[in-house]
C-alpha cells in the first residue's frame, strides 16, 4: 500500500519561492502566470493493509514530522 502526502503552505503564508517562480515565468514570456505556490509531495510505502488505519497513521506522521502545521496544510491519499 502507498500513501501520497501533499503538503502546501496555508493561504496567507508568504511563499518567496513561489513568487520567484512566477516572476521567472513572466520573464520567459508567460505573462498569464499571476502567481505560484510551491509545495511538496511525499510518497510512502506502507505495510498496513487496512486503508483507514494507514490514513490515520500517515496523518500522525504529518502532524509529527512531515508538515509544519503552523504554516502548512496537508492532504493524504491512500493507494491500493
* CA triple 62-10-78, angle to 5 deg: 40
pTM: 0.88
Q: Nearest CA to 77 among 3, 1, 12? A: 3
How far is residue 39's CA from residue 10's CA, in Å, rounded to a whole number? 10
Q: Tens of pLDDT along 25-65?
A: 999 999 999 999 999 999 999 997 899 999 999 999 999 99
The residues spanned by each domain of the chain are 2-79
pLDDT at 41: 98
pLDDT at 23: 98
What architecture does CATH give domain 2-79? 2-Layer Sandwich (3.30)
pLDDT at 80: 77
Amino acid at each position: 500500500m502507498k500513501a501520497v502526502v501533499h503538503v502546501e503552505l496555508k493561504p496567507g503564508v508568504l511563499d518567496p519561492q513561489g513568487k520567484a517562480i512566477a516572476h521567472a515565468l513572466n520573464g520567459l514570456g508567460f505573462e498569464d502566470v499571476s502567481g505560484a505556490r510551491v509545495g511538496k509531495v511525499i510518497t510512502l510505502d506502507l505495510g498496513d493493509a487496512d486503508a483507514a488505519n494507514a490514513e490515520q497513521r500517515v496523518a500522525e506522521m504529518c502532524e509529527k514530522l512531515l508538515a509544519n502545521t503552523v504554516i502548512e496544510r496537508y492532504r493524504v491519499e491512500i493507494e491500493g
